[in-house]
Amino acid sequence: GENVEQHPSTLSVQEGDSAVIKCTYSDSASNYFPWYKQELGKGPQLIIDIRSNVGEKKDQRIAVTLNKTAKHFSLHITETQPEDSAVYFCAASLSDKLIFGTGTRLQVFP
Amino acid sequence: GAGVSQSPSNKVTEKGKDVELRCDPISGHTALYWYRQSLGQGLEFLIYFQGNSAPDKSGLPSDRFSAERTGGSVSTLTIQRTQQEDSAVYLCASSSPGTSYNEQFFGPGTRLTVL
């Protein structure tokens, strides 16, 4: 079955700097790759997703890139702000079931 | 409309007791998922319901875990004879074929503590 690895587990940046989180997946048939943000005490919330027919997608300060050959995808956050501090999860899916990475705790210091 | 709701928000129980966790999905969502999130860990898939199809139970860690979904809406996750290692946040999510591809909407979770 699918296996998703996520790095780093923690990431600290200064406000205004960029943050990059990387994930790899094992099943080459996976075709959907969402990213979720989880704030303290809340459930995860979708922030951006990408499908396997696209190499890059942007939404304001966040972007996701996908390398199907290498089976890895990354989340890029530019001009980080303190409110970006949260746990971020990547996931991969072939069908309706998502397989999640282990999460990255991002801290943005003012 | 309301999002996914879960109850209770917190549950403290003694080892060996049974617990029931409830999930109310977004109205009209045909798919419902249960996940377990242990402290500092990722989301571990438990079980998936889609419409009237047989549920995908492949993630249930033991036969002490079971789930039902009545009338295609509300779901209950039951853990029998709880153990301390069952302590975690249990998250429910729902999705609909009519929304963005596979987007899952999560509830706030139930924090289970087994003493």
Strands B110-114 and B10-13: parallel
Q: What are A42-72's pLDDT values in tens digits? A: 999 999 999 888 889 999 999 999 999 999 9
Minimal Cβ distance to A32: which of B35, B91, B101: B101
- CB crowding A34-57: b at 16 or more within 10 Å, else e: bbbbbeeeebbebbbbbebeeeee
Hey, are the CB atoms on B101 and A96 less than 8 Å from each other?
A: no
Structure confidence by residue, pLDDT tens digits, A37-50: 999 989 999 999 99
B106 touches chain A (CB under 8 A): yes
Lowest mean pLDDT among A64-68, B56-60, B97-101, B104-108: B97-101
Is A34 close to B91, i.e. CB distance below 8 A?
Answer: no
Question: Tokens standing for A53?
Answer: 């027919």
Q: Work out the angle at residue A32's Cα, subtended by the Cα atoms of residues A48 and B98, and round it to the nearest 5 degrees.
A: 80
Residue B20 pLDDT > 60: yes
DSSP state of B86: G
B67: exposed, middle or buried (Cβ count in 10 Å: 0-12, 13-18, 19+): buried
Average pLDDT score over residue span A103-110: 96
